[in-house]
Structure 1
Amino acid sequence: MMVVNPYLNFNGKTEEVFNFYKSVFGGEFAFLQRFSHLPAGETAEDGCVDSDIPEAEKNGIMHIALPIGKTMLMGTDVPSNMPQVKAGTNISLCISTDSKADSDRIFAALSDGGNVQMPLQDMFWGDYYGMLIDKYEIQWMISFNPAQDGKNDK
């Protein structure tokens, strides 16, 4: 079974926001990675955020995940060298699929008439991942983690 998770984007407030949500919903972060953890040499062309992140922002959150029930609330800080987000438009939908084939099918269907932001590709963190904005201007993140091997239904 596929899972849809909300993905929140902030201009430097992600850690504060997620600590607040953690105090509300309880639990522990399932994942937390900072921009300073980016592998050396990764660039936007490699499917990563531009590695030229300002030094003052390298402690920012590249990806964080907080389990809430059977879903994950996920988020990131948007570095100042990328287009900034506005309140009300700072959410994406992230679909965790059960296979690469599902990812390919869903990505193709959603991107028809839309705008591919990042083609589906194998990423350094292990996922097969891509981003797009559909024809209705909704941002989608499509992700398959081979280590899950169909375990999203649990």
Structure 2
Amino acid sequence: MAKLNPYLNFNGKTEEAFNFYRSVFGGEFSFLQRFKDTPEAGKISAEDGEKIMHVSLPIGENTLMATDALKSFGQKVEPGSNIYISVHPDSEAEARKIFEGLSKGGKVEMELQDTFWGALYGSLSDKYGVNWMVNYEKPKES
């Protein structure tokens, strides 16, 4: 069965917000990556390179995650667009089924595809305006 986690979007305040959340909930970030450390680094300004591409903060059995929306990528965060539900299926087949189901009557933001972080990923808004991310972490080859 898929796992659900909230995924927040900020206009350049992810690091500040997540340091605050960490001070409230405790723990350590399980992942933190800046845009300058991604394959997109050559396409962005030095300022955008310092912004957060992805951060994860485990809280109990769940994980709070976030990113900075980049104006240079045409992204803009407004109330209602600042949160996604991130679905983490157990298999590629489940990921495809969930993505296909949620996208019916909705708007696909990014088609389900292989990513540089080793996942099958896609994002969309369903027909009710709820934002979703489907992220199947592929098994690591040894």
TM-score (norm 1): 0.85
| Residue in structure 2 matched with residue 83 of structure 1 by the alignment | 75
Identity, % of aligned pairs?
52
For the pair 1:57 / 2:48, whether they are aligned, the reply is yes
Correspondences of 1:63-142 after superposition (within 5 Å): 63-81=54-72, 82-142=74-134
Alpha-carbon separation, structure 1, partners of 2:80 and 2:12: 16
Given that 2:86 and 2:135 are in contact with CA atoms closer than 8 Å, whether structure 1 keeps it comes out as yes
Alpha-carbon separation, structure 2, partners of 1:29 and 1:68: 10
Q: What SS class does the counterpart of residue 27 from structure 2 fall into?
A: coil
Q: What SS class does the counterpart of residue 121 from structure 1 fall into?
A: strand
Q: What SS class does the counterpart of residue 20 from structure 2 fall into?
A: helix
| Count of residues in correspondence between the two structures | 139
Give deviations 1:8-40, integer Å, cap 9, x for gaps.
00000000000000000011101000000112x
Alpha-carbon separation, structure 1, partners of 2:133 and 2:17: 21
Correspondences of 1:142-153 after superposition (within 5 Å): 142-147=134-139
Give structure 1 regions of 4+ aligned residues with deviation exceeding 4 angstroms.
none
Give deviations 1:42-66, integer Å, cap 9, x for gaps.
5xxxxxxx96323211100000000
Structure 2 residue identity aligned to 1:132: L
Unpaired stretches in structure 1, ≥5 consecutive residues: 43-49, 149-154
Report which of the two has the higher share of strand.
2
CA root-mean-square deviation: 1.6
Structure 2 residue identity aligned to 1:15: E
TM-score (norm 2): 0.92
Structure 2 residue identity aligned to 1:68: I
